[in-house]
């Protein structure tokens, strides 16, 4: 039996286990809340994470996953994990690799022949590519955060200089030339 077919049959259990392991990366109180609160309005982080992980798994189970769709699906989770001060960069994106172990555990009885092991290796290659996508998203988010912080600081300096009378606005029609 093809590995994609086996994983498709077990994808609900796999995505639940993946979600559980991802939420376990949070502090215990937060993890408990993310797992127990099912209302998406009361628990947007948990809901977003679960939906994203399920979508990512669905896409990875295709013969040729669409990288742009993977970016779209993974982006919300990475954005959340980037802005939270709880995670180091490796922890923010490292959850992607949890999927490898979950799949291995799920297929331990089927991985006895070379064909299945080769297919498993190919799937794990997709997970590795997903990790690189996650890293790129993380870096873009970090860049945006740093730009926002820099612009905020520039604004504070400008306002302080303006209050001190050290800044003068240039008229819309430009400065006058002295002849």
- Two tokens, residue 150: 């820099």
Q: What is the pLDDT along the chain (179 residues), one digit of tens a residue?
A: 588 889 999 999 999 999 999 999 999 999 999 999 989 899 999 999 999 999 999 999 998 999 999 999 999 999 999 998 789 999 999 999 999 999 999 998 887 888 888 999 999 999 999 999 999 999 999 999 989 989 888 888 888 888 888 877 776 776 666 66
- DSSP string covering 94-161: HGGGHHHHHHHHHTTTTTTSHHHHHHHHHHHHHHHHHHHHHHHHHHHHHHHHHHHHHHHHHHHHHHHH
* Threshold 0.75, pTM exceeds: yes
**Would you state the pLDDT for residue 82?**
94
What are the sequence ranges of the domains in the chain? 3-140
**Would you state the pLDDT for residue 98?**
98
CA–CA gap between residue 25 and residue 27 (Å, rounded):
7
- Two tokens, residue 77: 């989770």
**Would you state the pLDDT for residue 114?**
85
CA–CA gap between residue 115 and residue 170 (Å, rounded):
71
CA–CA gap between residue 33 and residue 122 (Å, rounded):
35
**Would you state the pLDDT for residue 1?**
52
């Amino acid at each position: 039996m093809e590995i994609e077919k086996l994983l498709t049959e077990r994808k609900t259990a796999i995505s639940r286990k993946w979600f559980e392991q991802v939420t376990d990366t949070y502090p215990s109180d937060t993890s408990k809340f993310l797992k127990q609160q099912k209302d998406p309005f009361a628990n947007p982080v948990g809901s977003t994470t679960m939906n994203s992980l399920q979508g990512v798994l669905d896409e990875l189970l295709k013969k040729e996953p669409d990288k742009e769709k993977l970016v779209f699906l993974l982006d919300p989770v990475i954005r959340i994990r980037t802005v939270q001060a709880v995670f180091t960069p490796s922890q923010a994106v490292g959850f992607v690799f949890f999927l490898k172990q979950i799949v291995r555990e799920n297929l331990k009885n089927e991985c006895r022949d070379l064909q299945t092991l080769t297919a498993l290796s190919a799937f794990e290659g997709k997970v590795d590519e997903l990790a690189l996508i996650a890293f790129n998203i993380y870096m873009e988010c970090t860049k945006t955060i740093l730009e926002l912080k820099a612009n905020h600081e520039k604004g504070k300096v400008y306002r302080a200089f303006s209050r001190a009378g050290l800044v003068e606005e240039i008229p819309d029609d430009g400065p006058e030339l002295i002849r």
